Amino acid sequence: MNLNEEQIERYSRHILLKDVGVEGQMKLLNAKVLIIGAGGLGAPAAMYLAAAGVGTIGIADKDKVDITNLQRQIIHFTKDIDVEKVSSAKEKMNQINPDVEVKTYNEFLMANNIREIIRGYDFVIDGTDSFASKFLINDACVLEGIPFSHGGILRFDGQTMTVKPNDTACYRCVFIKPPPANVVPTCSQAGVLGAIAGMLGTIQAAEALKFITGVGEPLYNKLLSFDAKSMRFREIKFKKNDKCGVCSENAHITELKDEEQAACDLTT
């Protein structure tokens, strides 16, 4: 496969980058990325990955667009209220870039279907809200050996790390197990500044593009954390946890199970 004339123009600002070039753009066009969650993080990630020409983009979400989503989930428009999020997202991604094949998964990802869904993708973006989902995605990606980006936001803060299973620290290495369900901030206590979702989801998209093209260093073995009130960014460095339940030599998790849900819908 070679780039046609229109593609050379469309991706010219990538191709001009010495580190990317035609070769890097070809890698993007041949890549498969799965975005789990078409919400605050998944929306900007999906738009940038589509614009970048990632050849196959999967998007998974069971929700429909709600008016409270529109403050930050910028892939969904006012006209999309009550439409399935994956359909709304696919429509916009195709409008941005018809080169991209968008695969939609209008379903809950659970222990019994996640491994089958993520298999075959080169990289996964975790844009989910609940800690049960975050641990499930981590464990599934570790067991399948698929690199992924973790992202979290709350109020004015964000955090992200990139995981290359077995080579670098995973989400469970750092966070060990989900917090007790009864202490997770309730919807009335939480909330998030919309643009924070854009900042974080865009960092996750950039990590996916870096990973596919092999440019630079992904956020391995460190958590990038920021506080938008002061707009200070910090990196917390760490190494693999030799007691990790899923990726250490002493791992006891060899198959997936669904954890109790603990999440706040208003932070999505």
Please indicate whether residue 187 is annotated as part of the active site.
yes
Site for other proteins (CB under 8 A): how many residues? 59
Per-residue contact flags (x/-) with other proteins for residues 72 to 101, judged by CB under 8 A: -x-----------x----------------
Cβ neighbours of residue 125 under 8 Å, at least 6 residues apart? Answer: 33, 34, 35, 36, 41, 42, 45, 148, 149, 151, 204, 205, 208
List the catalytic residue out of 141, 170, 187, 244.
Answer: 187
Q: Taking CB under 8 A as the rule, does residue 162 contact other proteins?
A: no
Q: Taking CB under 8 A as the rule, does residue 139 contact other proteins?
A: no
Q: Taking CB under 8 A as the rule, does residue 241 contact other proteins?
A: yes
Q: Taking CB under 8 A as the rule, does residue 47 contact other proteins?
A: no
Q: What is the DSSP letter of 258?
A: P
CB 237, CB 187: distance < 8 Å: no
Alpha-carbon distance of 202 to 72, in angstroms, equals 13
In residues, how long is the chain? 268
Minimum Å gap between C-beta 127 and other proteins is 4
Sheet order of strands, 222-227 included: 101-105, 56-60, 32-36, 123-126, 148-154, 157-163, 222-227, 232-237
Residues that bind other proteins in the complex, under the rule CB under 8 A: 36-42, 60-63, 73, 85, 108-110, 126-134, 136, 151-154, 157-159, 173-177, 179-180, 183-185, 192, 197, 223, 225, 234, 236, 238-239, 241, 258, 261, 263-265, 267-268
Residues serving a catalytic function are: 187
